[in-house]
C-alpha cells in the first residue's frame, strides 16, 4: 500500500564538503532502524568504492526511512560545484532541506550556493549545526551567523553531533514537523522527475524518480519526454536502503524504476517520465536541461596500441555517465585519442581515475580548456580544442565562458582574495559581511582562469580558510589568442593553448623553457618557439648534439656496445616525429604533467 | 684460417682508480702465484679448441701486468708459444703503468719477448692525474718512456684520457703536446667515460661530482685530431692514432671481427659469431681452472642481425667505412649532406664530426 501522502516527507541535506552530511545520513539510517547496527558501514549511501575513498558523493541517492509512522525520503545530493545542475534536480524532488553547517568551520561558499538553490526551489529550510562536540566548535557564534543568513531566531538552529547521534532524533522530528507533505493527484496523468540515473550491468538503466503527479506502476510502457523514447519498465521500488520492489509509486513518493533501457542517455537527469500513449501527461515538468560540458581535455593512451581499449572504456563509462561526451582526436605528438568534455574539473578527475582504475589504462591528458566561441563575419565557430582555433587572430572576436563566483573568506585574507581574483581577470560584483570576521565576495571570473589552479591558489593564499563556489554566467568577449609551440618550425598540437593576450608571453616562455630541458639534442640545432600566428614570442634552442660514441671498444666491450645500440634503437622507434625532430613520447608526457601539477586541481 | 689474437688478463693493481670498471683488484697480490698457474692451465685447456689457428698477436692487459715478475711473464709467453700456433713475428704487447717500471725491469720484460709497450700516461697535468686517482706524476711518464727507449723499445703507445673534471682545453692541449714531444709510435686518447659501477660513477650519480661535458669532450677530440694529425700520426680508430705501420694489430683484430682467445679472469673470446667470457672473480677463476674445467661464465651466439650491427659499427670505428651499397640511399644521404659521412667512391667513411656521433650514424644507417 502506498503511504498516505500526508505522511510523506521528502528532504535532502545541504552541506559543504566535510561538514558531515554522509555521517548524518548514516546516523539517520541507524536511528530509524533502516539499517541494523551490524550491517552498518561508514558512508553507507556512497556506493561506489571511488566515492567512499574520496569521501565525496557523486551519485545522488534516495533512501526511505520509516520514522514514527512517517515515510521520510532522504535524497542525497552531490556535493560539488561541477554538479550544480544535478543538485538542482535533486532539490526539485524535495519539499525541504536540512542546511547542515559545521559548528567549527561555519558557513562556506558551497553551503551558501546550495542554500540559495534550495530557497529558490521553494524548499523549507531546517537549519542545523553539526559537530557540536568538537573542541573547536563555536555553536553560539555559528548559530548567530546562520540565523542572520536565514532571518530566523538563533534558537531555531538545531544542534547535533552526527558522529555521536546527539540531537539527531530531534532533527528527524523537525523534518516531520516543518517540512510540508508533498502534494499530487494520484488520478492525474503521470509526471515523474528523474533526479538521478545509473547503469547496472544486469538490469540496464535504473532511474531514481520523484513522482509529482499520478501513479507509476511497477510494469508499464513509459515515455521519456526529452528523448521521446518509450520503454517497457520492469520494476518500481524503494531503497530501504536496499532495493525493495513495490506495486506502484504514488504521488509524492520517491523510488527507483528499472526502465528497460540500455543507455543512460535515453533517461537523462531532469527529464520527466510519463506513460506512453493517451494516458500520458501532455507536458513535462519544468527545469530540464541538457548536460553541458564545461571543460575539455584530450585523453590519449600512453601506449598507442591501447587506443581501442580506451574507446571501449569510454563507451562503457558513457553508459553510466550521461554527462560524458567525447569525439576522436588525432595529435601528431600524442597519437590517437579523444577530446573529452566534462562538467568540471572534479568530473574530469573522476572519469580519468575510473578509466585508469577500472579499465587499467595509462593515460596522458592535455591541459584542460574551456569552450570558446569564435566569431568571424556571420560565422560562429565553437572551439573545444585550441588546435581548432583559427591561428594568428583571423577572426573578429572570441568569447569565453565566465562564472559567477562566490568566495567566503575570513576578513584577514580579503586582500589576498582580491589580489588573486584581480590577477585572474575577475570583476568584482559585490561583497557582504556575514559576521565581522567573515566576508562573502562575488566575482565574475573567466572559467578558464578557474580551470587553471585557481582553487589551489585560493587555498594557499588563505591558509585553507576561504571557500569557493561558482555557477555558469554566460559568455563574454575577451582578448584571447592562440599560442602555438613549435619545434623546428612545426607546431606541436598538444601544446597549443588559447590564452589571454597578457599571459601569452608567460605561457610561451614556460613551455619553451620546459621543452628545451625535455627534448633530447638532435643532429642539428632545434628551435623551440612559442608563437602567436607567425609572430614568435619566446624562443629557446636545443643545441645540436656533438658527441654520442663509446670511447673504448675492445674485446670485452663489443657485446655491451651492441646491446647499448639495440636499446638506443628501440628508444628511437618509440620516438614521435615532429617534422624532422625526434621526441620521446615521455618528453611530451612530462611537459604535460608538469603543467598539470601547476594547474588543474580542485 | 683467419689470423687470431690472444688476450691475457692480469687482474692485479697497486691501487684501484676511481674511474676504472675493469676486472681489476687491489690487495689480492697473495693470489698471484696460483693465478699464474691457472693462466698456464687455462691455456692448456683451451689450446685443443684452437688447434691450427694462427695467432698474430698477444696482448697482456689488466690490471697492471707489469706487477707480474718478469720470469712469470717469460714463462707465460713460452707456454703460449708452446701450446698455440703463435707466429714468430707476432705483435706482443704488455700494458704498463709509470712508477711500476724502470729500465732494468723493462729490459727484462722485453727480453721475455714483449716487444710492444702500452703506457698508461693518461695526462701530463698533475691535477688531472690526482682527479683520476692515478698515483703517478707527469715526470714518471717521461721517465718511463726514457726507460722504455733505454730498454730498446721501438714500439710504444701512450694512453691519454680527456674530459676529466677540472681539465681545461688548454691543459688538454699541453698534454697532447707533451705526448707528441715524447714521440711514441702510437697514441690512444679516450674521452673519460663515467661507468655507473665505479666510485666516480657513484659520485656523479649522487651529484657530488660533475659528469664530463660532452661538448667540451668534443672540442678536446677535435684538438687531438688536429695536433696528432699535424704531428704525423694517422687516425685509424676513433680513439687511436699511430705512426704509419705502427697500428696495433691486436686491437685491429677486434675491430675487424677476427677471432680472439681471452685467457684469465673475465676475459672474452670470440670465434665464428660466438662470444664467450670467463668468470670474473679471480678466486672463482682459479678454482674452476684448478678443477680442470674451462672457466666459462657465459656466452652468446650472434644471429645475422647482431653480426651485421657489429660489422657496421666496428667498420665505422676504424674509419675503413662501410660500402654504401649495403644501405638504401635515403639512409645515408642526409649524413653525407650534413657532413657526418663521406662517400669515398662508394665507401661511407665517418668524418671527424661523424666519429663523435657514431651511435647516431649506426642507428640511422641500420634502423
- CATH value of A396-478 in 3.30.70.1450, 3.40.710.10, 2.40.420.20, 3.30.70.240: 3.30.70.240
Residues A561 and A471 sit within 8 Å (Cβ to Cβ): no
CB contact under 8 A, B262 and A568: no
Partners of B314 on chain A (C-beta within 8 Å) are 553, 558
> Per-residue pLDDT for A197 more than 70?
yes
DSSP structure class, residue A122: T
Q: So where are chain A's domains?
A: 5-178, 191-279, 295-365, 396-478, 482-598
> Among the listed ranges A106-110, A333-337, A369-373, B349-353, which one has the minimum average pLDDT value?
A106-110
Partners of B277 on chain A (C-beta within 8 Å) are 556
Question: Which of A524, A545, A551, A579 to mutate against chain B (most B CBs within 10 Å)?
Answer: A551
Question: Which of B299, B305, B313 to mutate against chain A (most A CBs within 10 Å)?
Answer: B313
Average pLDDT over residues A85-102: 90
A positions 199-228 inside 8 Å of B (CB): none
Residue-level pLDDT at A1: 54
DSSP structure class, residue B194: -
Residues B305 and B333 sit within 8 Å (Cβ to Cβ): no
Nearest to A548 among B221, B269, B359 (CB): B359
CB contact under 8 A, A546 and B214: yes
CA atoms of A244 and B38, how far apart (whole Å): 86
CA atoms of B301 and B287, how far apart (whole Å): 26
Q: For the whole model, what pTM was predicted?
A: 0.72
CB contact under 8 A, A548 and B357: yes
Q: Which residues of B touch A (CB under 8 A)?
A: 7, 190-193, 214-215, 217-218, 221, 238-239, 251, 254-255, 260, 262, 266-270, 275, 277, 300, 306, 309-310, 313-314, 317, 338, 340, 353, 355-360, 362-363, 366-367
User: What is the architecture of the domain spanning A482-598?
Assistant: 2-Layer Sandwich (3.30)
Q: So where are chain B's domains?
A: 4-255, 319-366
A positions 531-590 inside 8 Å of B (CB): 543, 545-556, 558-559, 561-562, 564-566, 568-569, 572-573
CA distance A333 to chain B (A): 21
Quote ipTM for the complex: 0.91
Name the CATH superfamily, with its identifier, for domain A191-279.
Answer: Translation factors (2.40.30.10)
Residue-level pLDDT at A45: 62
Nearest to A549 among B262, B269, B359 (CB): B359
Q: Find the length of chain B.
A: 367
**What's the pLDDT tens digit per position in B31-78?**
999 999 999 999 999 999 999 999 999 999 989 999 899 999 999 999
User: What is the architecture of the domain spanning B4-255?
Assistant: Alpha-Beta Barrel (3.20)
Fold (topology level) of A5-178: Rossmann fold (3.40.50)
DSSP H or E segment with residue B38 = helix B32-46
Nearest to B300 among A550, A559, A566 (CB): A559
**What's the pLDDT tens digit per position in A231-242?**
999 999 988 877
Fold match, A295-365 / A396-478: yes
DSSP symbols for A162-183: TTT-TTHHHHHHHHHHHSPPP-
Residues A522 and A568 sit within 8 Å (Cβ to Cβ): no
Residue B35 pairs in a beta bridge with none
CB contact under 8 A, A551 and B363: no
Residue B10 pairs in a beta bridge with B62
Residue-level pLDDT at A596: 54
Question: Which of B215, B274, B277, B308 to mutate against chain A (most A CBs within 10 Å)?
Answer: B215
* HSE-CB for A209 with a 13 A CA cutoff: 36
**What's the pLDDT tens digit per position in A123-149?**
999 999 999 999 999 999 999 989 988
> Per-residue pLDDT for A68 more than 50?
yes
Amino acid at each position: 500500500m502506498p503511504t498516505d501522502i500526508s505522511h510523506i516527507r521528502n528532504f535532502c541535506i545541504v552541506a559543504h564538503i566535510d561538514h558531515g552530511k554522509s555521517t548524518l545520513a548514516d546516523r539517520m539510517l541507524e536511528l530509524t532502524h533502516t539499517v541494523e547496527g551490524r550491517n552498518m558501514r561508514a558512508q553507507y549511501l556512497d556506493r561506489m568504492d571511488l566515492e567512499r575513498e574520496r569521501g565525496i558523493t557523486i551519485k545522488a541517492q534516495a533512501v526511505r526511512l520509516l520514522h514514527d509512522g512517517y515515510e521520510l525520503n532522504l535524497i542525497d545530493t552531490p556535493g560539488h560545484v561541477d554538479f550544480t545542475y544535478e543538485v538542482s534536480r535533486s532539490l526539485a524532488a524535495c519539499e525541504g532541506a536540512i542546511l547542515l553547517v559545521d559548528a567549527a568551520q561555519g558557513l562556506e561558499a558551497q553551503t551558501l550556493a546550495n542554500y540559495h538553490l534550495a530557497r529558490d526551489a521553494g524548499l523549507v529550510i531546517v537549519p542545523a549545526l553539526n559537530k557540536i562536540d568538537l573542541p573547536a566548535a563555536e555553536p553560539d557564534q555559528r548559530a548567530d551567523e546562520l540565523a542572520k543568513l536565514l532571518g530566523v531566531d538563533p534558537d531555531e538552529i538545531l544542534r547535533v553531533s552526527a558522529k555521536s547521534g546527539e540531537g539527531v532524533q530531534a532533527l528527524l522530528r523537525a523534518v516531520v514537523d516543518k517540512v510540508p507533505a508533498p502534494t499530487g493527484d494520484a488520478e492525474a496523468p503521470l509526471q515523474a522527475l528523474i533526479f538521478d540515473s545509473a547503469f547496472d550491468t544486469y538490469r540496464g538503466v535504473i532511474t531514481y524518480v520523484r513522482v509529482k503527479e499520478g501513479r507509476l506502476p511497477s510494469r508499464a510502457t513509459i515515455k521519456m519526454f526529452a528523448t521521446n523514447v518509450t520503454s517497457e519498465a520492469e520494476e518500481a521500488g524503494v531503497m530501504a536502503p536496499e532495493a525493495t520492489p513495490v506495486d506502484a509509486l504514488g504521488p509524492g513518493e520517491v523510488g527507483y524504476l528499472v526502465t528497460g533501457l540500455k543507455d543512460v542517455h535515453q533517461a537523462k537527469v531532469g527529464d520527466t517520465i510519463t506513460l506512453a500513449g493517451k494516458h500520458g501527461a501532455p507536458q513535462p515538468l519544468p527545469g530540464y536541461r541538457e548536460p553541458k560540458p564545461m571543460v575539455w581535455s584530450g585523453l590519449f593512451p600512453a601506449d598507442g596500441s591501447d587506443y581501442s581499449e580506451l574507446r571501449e572504456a569510454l563507451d562503457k563509462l558513457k553508459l553510466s555517465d550521461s554527462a560524458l561526451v567525447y569525439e576522436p582526436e588525432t595529435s601528431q605528438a600524442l597519437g590517437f585519442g579523444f577530446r573529452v568534455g566534462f562538467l568540471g574539473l572534479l568530473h574530469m578527475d573522476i572519469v580519468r581515475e575510473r578509466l585508469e582504475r577500472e579499465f587499467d589504462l595509462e593515460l596522458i591528458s592535455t591541459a584542460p580548456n574551456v569552450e570558446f566561441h569564435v566569431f568571424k563575419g556571420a560565422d560562429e565557430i565553437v572551439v573545444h580544442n585550441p588546435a581548432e582555433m583559427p591561428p594568428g587572430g583571423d577572426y573578429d572576436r572570441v568569447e569565453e565562458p565566465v562564472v559567477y563566483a562566490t568566495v567566503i573568506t575570513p576578513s584577514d585574507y580579503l586582500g589576498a582574495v582580491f589580489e588573486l581574483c584581480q590577477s585572474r581577470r575577475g570583476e568584482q560584483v559585490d561583497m557582504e559581511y556575514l559576521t565581522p570576521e567573515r566576508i562573502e565576495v562575488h566575482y565574475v571570473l573567466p572559467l578558464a582562469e578557474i580551470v587553471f589552479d585557481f582553487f589551489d591558489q585560493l587555498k594557499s593564499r588563505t591558509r585553507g580558510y576561504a571557500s569557493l563556489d561558482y555557477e555558469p554566467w554566460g559568455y563574454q568577449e575577451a582578448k584571447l589568442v592562440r599560442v602555438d609551440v613549435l619545434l623546428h618550425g612545426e607546431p606541436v598540437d598538444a601544446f597549443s593553448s588559447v590564452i589571454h593576450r597578457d599571459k601569452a608571453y608567460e605561457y610561451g616562455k614556460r613551455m619553451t623553457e620546459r621543452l628545451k630541458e625535455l627534448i633530447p639534442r638532435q643532429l642539428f640545432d632545434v628551435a623551440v618557439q612559442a608563437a602567436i600566428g607567425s609572430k614568435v614570442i619566446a624562443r629557446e634552442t636545443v643545441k645540436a648534439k656533438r658527441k654520442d660514441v663509446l670511447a673504448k671498444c675492445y674485446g670485452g666491450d663489443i657485446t655491451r656496445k651492441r646491446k647499448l645500440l639495440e636499446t638506443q634503437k628501440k628508444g628511437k622507434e618509440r620516438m614521435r616525429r615532429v617534422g624532422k625532430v625526434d621526441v620521446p613520447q615521455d618528453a611530451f608526457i612530462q611537459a604535460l604533467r608538469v603543467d598539470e601539477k601547476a594547474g588543474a586541481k580542485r | 684460417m683467419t689470423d687470431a689474437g690472444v688476450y691475457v688478463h692480469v687482474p692485479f693493481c697497486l691501487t684501484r682508480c676511481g674511474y676504472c670498471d675493469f676486472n681489476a683488484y687491489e690487495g689480492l697480490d697473495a693470489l698471484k702465484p696460483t693465478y699464474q698457474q691457472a693462466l698456464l692451465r687455462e691455456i692448456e685447456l683451451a689450446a685443443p679448441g684452437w688447434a691450427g689457428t694462427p695467432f698474430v698477436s698477444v696482448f697482456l692487459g689488466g690490471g697492471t701486468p707489469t706487477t707480474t715478475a718478469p720470469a712469470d711473464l717469460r714463462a707465460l709467453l713460452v707456454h703460449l708459444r708452446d701450446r698455440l700456433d703463435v707466429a714468430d713475428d707476432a705483435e706482443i704487447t704488455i700494458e704498463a703503468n709509470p712508477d711500476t717500471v724502470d729500465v732494468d725491469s723493462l729490459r727484462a720484460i722485453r727480453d721475455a719477448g714483449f716487444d710492444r709497450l702500452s703506457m698508461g700516461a693518461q695526462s701530463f697535468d698533475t691535477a688531472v692525474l690526482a682527479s683520476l686517482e692515478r698515483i703517478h706524476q707527469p715526470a714518471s711518464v717521461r721517465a718511463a718512456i726514457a726507460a722504455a727507449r733505454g730498454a730498446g723499445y721501438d714500439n710504444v703507445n701512450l694512453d691519454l684520457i680527456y674530459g676529466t673534471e677540472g681539465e681545461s682545453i688548454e691543459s688538454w692541449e699541453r698534454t697532447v703536446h707533451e705526448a707528441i714531444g715524447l714521440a711514441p709510435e702510437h697514441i690512444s686518447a679516450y674521452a673519460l667515460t663515467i661507468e655507473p659501477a665505479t666510485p666516480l660513477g657513484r659520485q656523479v650519480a649522487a651529484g657530488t661530482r660533475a659528469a664530463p661535458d660532452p661538448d667540451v669532450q668534443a672540442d678536446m677530440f677535435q684538438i687531438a685530431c688536429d695536433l696528432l694529425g699535424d704531428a704525423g700520426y694517422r687516425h685509424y680508430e676513433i680513439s687511436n692514432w699511430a705512426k704509419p705501420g705502427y697500428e696495433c694489430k691486436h686491437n685491429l683484430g677486434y675491430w675487424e671481427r677476427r677471432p680472439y682467445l681471452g685467457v684469465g679472469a673475465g676475459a672474452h673470446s670470440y670465434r665464428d659469431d660466438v662470444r664467450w667470457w670467463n668468470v670474473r672473480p679471480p678466486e672463482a677463476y682459479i678454482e674452476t681452472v684448478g678443477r680442470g674445467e674451462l672457466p666459462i661464465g657465459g656466452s652468446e651466439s650472434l644471429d645475422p642481425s647482431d653480426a651485421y650491427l657489429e660489422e657496421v659499427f666496428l667498420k665505422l670505428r676504424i674509419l675503413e667505412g662501410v660500402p654504401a651499397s649495403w644501405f638504401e640511399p635515403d639512409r645515408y644521404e642526409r649524413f653525407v649532406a650534413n657532413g657526418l659521412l663521406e662517400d669515398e667512391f662508394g665507401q661511407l667513411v665517418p668524418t671527424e664530426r661523424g666519429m663523435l656521433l657514431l651511435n647516431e650514424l649506426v642507428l640511422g644507417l641500420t634502423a
